[in-house]
């Protein structure tokens, strides 16, 4: 992800989030909100393609 932040799908982000115990919600909106255990959130547009800035922010959410 870090080397190639382009062409990721929301399902791939959900898979990574599941591996790191990050939950998400999508209540009929155009965004998926990823929620860490400490309460930090990251809304990501669910449409494809996901912009690289959101992938970079997602990596930061997972690693910090």
Residues 8, 55, 32, 64, CA torsion sign: positive
pLDDT classification of 1: cutoffs 50, 70, 90: confident
Query: What is the CATH T-level fold of the domain 10-63, as seen in this structure?
Result: Metal Transport, Frataxin; Chain A (3.30.920)
What confidence tens digit (pLDDT) does each residue in 2-52 have?
777 888 889 999 999 999 999 999 988 889 999 999 999 999 998 878 999
Give me the helices (H) in 1-64, please: 10-19, 52-63
The residue ranges of every structural domain in the chain are: 10-63
pLDDT classification of 56: cutoffs 50, 70, 90: very high
Name the residue with higher pLDDT: 56 or 2: 56
């Amino acid at each position: 992800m870090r080397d190639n932040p382009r062409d990721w799908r929301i399902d791939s982000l959900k898979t990574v989030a599941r591996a790191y115990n990050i939950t998400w919600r999508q209540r009929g909106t155009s965004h998926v909100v990823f929620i860490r255990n400490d309460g930090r959130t990251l809304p990501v547009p669910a449409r494809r393609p996901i912009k690289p800035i959101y992938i970079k922010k997602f990596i930061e959410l997972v690693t910090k």
